[in-house]
Structure formats: C-alpha cells, structure tokens
Amino acid sequence: MADALPLRTQHFINNEFVDSVDGKTFDTINPATEEVLATMQMASAADIDKAVVAARAAFSDKWETSTGVSRRDLLFKLADLIDKHADRLAEVESLDNGKPLAVAKGADVALTVQHFKYFAGWADKGMCGKTIPTSIMAADHFAMTVHEPVGVVGCIIPWNFPLLMMAWKLAPLLACGCTAVLKTSKKTPCTALMVCQLIKEAGFPPGVVNVLSGYGPSAGEALGRHMDVDKICFTGSSAVGLKIIEMAAQSNMKRVTLELGGKSPMIICDDADIDQAVAAADFGLFFNAGQCCCASTRILIQDTVYDEVVAKCVEAAQKKKLCSP
C-alpha cells in the first residue's frame, strides 16, 4: 500500500537503519500540540565518521565511475516512489513541521518529486566536458575540460522545508556522481529518514546516501570539520554560515556552498494596488506557517496609505483559522 511507509527513528548509514554509537536520543515535537511525535537517535561525531567512511567507500568503489544513464534512472525511480507515497510523506511533514497539510503535499512533496526528476535529466547531460580551440599559433593543439564529481559532500538542512531542502541538496550531487552525508534539522528529522527507505528501494548502492539526525554543535560541527568530506553545503542562518566557513578553513579547506537566511522588507507606496499589495503581504507572511526566509515580516508603508493598509492586513489575518494543520 502507498500509505504503509513507516516512520523511522534511526540513522541511515550504508543502506541500513542503525542506532547512535553512544545510544543517545532526542524527541521531535509536534508543534501544533507540543506532544512528542517520535524519539530519534542523536548523532555524535562517531556516527558522522561512520557515515563519512561509508560515503567514501561508495564513492571510490562504484559511484564515482557510475554512468550518467544509471544515475538518471535511479533518480527517476526515486522520484516515482516519493510520488507514490505523497500522502503519507505530507502527513508526517505536517505533523513534524506544523505546516498545513495542503502546503506539505501541494508544495513540499510535489516540488520534491519535480526536483529529483529535473536533475535526473541532467545526470546524463550536465557532466559533459568541452574541447576548446587554442591560439592560431598552435592550430594542431586543443584544450580539453572534463567535469568530475567532487567526492563526499556533507549537507546540513533547516526545518522549514525538510523534504524539499533534502531534494535541493541530494538531487544535484547524486546526478553528478557524488555521495552524501546529510544531517537533518533536530526540529524536523522524520521525512528525510522515510525517504531513505525509498532510496534503498530504488536501488542506490550502500553508502551513496547517508542521513543522520542530531544537533549542530555535535553532529553538524563534526561534519563541517571532517577531514574526509570534500565539500559542505549548508542552509541556515548567516551566523552559523560563518562558522561553517571557519570549520572548512580550519580542517581540509573543503569547498563550501551556503544558502543563508535573510529578511527583505515589503514596501507599499500610495500608487500601489492596495488590495493586491495586502494579498501579497498576507501570503508572504503566513505561507508555510510563516517559516520562510523571505517571509514578509516587515512592511514599510507610505504614510498616506498606512491606515488603509494596516486595516486591510488585520482584516485578512483575522480570517485565518487556528486548528490542526
């Protein structure tokens, strides 16, 4: 049955679900009820090291030399499996994150499927190299570029779009022939581990994808400082992003990609379509239960329309229903 996908609480390392080395756990909370949704295994530096060893072995043994066609087919299969279990994944995403079920299914799961399919299409196309003509004095010579996978990539994702953030990190690196060690947010660890079951079912080799639950100062820092991680990808705050750069520099000068949260105010002037502006402000603030780095939490309003805009914003907000997501 499509809805039979179980909620997993262990780390996913080398295609197996395993407990933490030290046995430590933490609770993930349903924010709507403040009840414990599940008790998860908590990753330490030892668990991160196990995952990196598995990822390195998988990269060196099979994945680095895999064909773009084979990676394409696996990514398409994974996308189909996620789509098959869309209802169940959306349900758990809503329970763990607090976002409305309609957003979890219509945005998170649907876009996750699209993202894996998009990069599946790049797997056998985007890794091609080029031949480049040299100067006229060396007409019988040419330069050649070859695209190669980076290696083991560490990924750290936030809580607001757990499934989609996982896809944004994994899909491109898998298409390019890299392997991954991904740490979820301590607030929303559930759906990534559920997708790990589908990664295994799709046929990805052991060690290609490893997913762990845990906290930043322990698991996150261990990943950022690991000497056998070739690149680190982080989505989160600017303050932690700065620490990620420091960790990379102080360890093995690993490559770094950062997507750091920011806030930009919405500006409403008196020549605007006020109703349209209020609708945009309302959506920008309340979409995904307000959990967006580009949410309209600040609005600068020209004084001549200030009272009108505020009144209409209050009216729109009062129509919201507070209930189970």
**SS3 readout for 65-92:** HCCHHHHHHHHHHHHHHHHHCHHHHHHH
Give the containing element (helix H, strand E) for 191.
Answer: helix 190-202
Q: What are phi and psi of 231, to 5 degrees?
A: -150, 150
Give the containing element (helix H, strand E) for 11.
Answer: strand 11-13
Per-residue buried b or exposed e for 265-284, using 16+ beta carbons within 10 Å of the residue's own CB: ebebeeebeeeebbeebbeb
d(CA 39, CA 25): 6
d(CA 226, CA 211): 16
The residue from 34, 176, 246, 293 that is catalytic is 293
**SS3 readout for 289-312:** HHCCCCCCCCEEECHHHHHHHHHH
The residue from 64, 259, 292, 308 that is catalytic is 259
d(CA 24, CA 44): 9
Q: What is the DSSP letter of 277?
A: H
d(CA 182, CA 179): 10
Q: Is 259 a known active-site residue?
A: yes
Q: Is 34 a known active-site residue?
A: no
Reduced to 3 states, what is the DSSP secondary structure of residue 34? Answer: coil
d(CA 30, CA 160): 14
Q: Is the dihedral of CA 132, 133, 138, 139 positive or negative?
A: positive
Give the containing element (helix H, strand E) for 190.
Answer: helix 190-202
d(CA 166, CA 170): 6
Q: Which residues are catalytic?
A: 259, 293
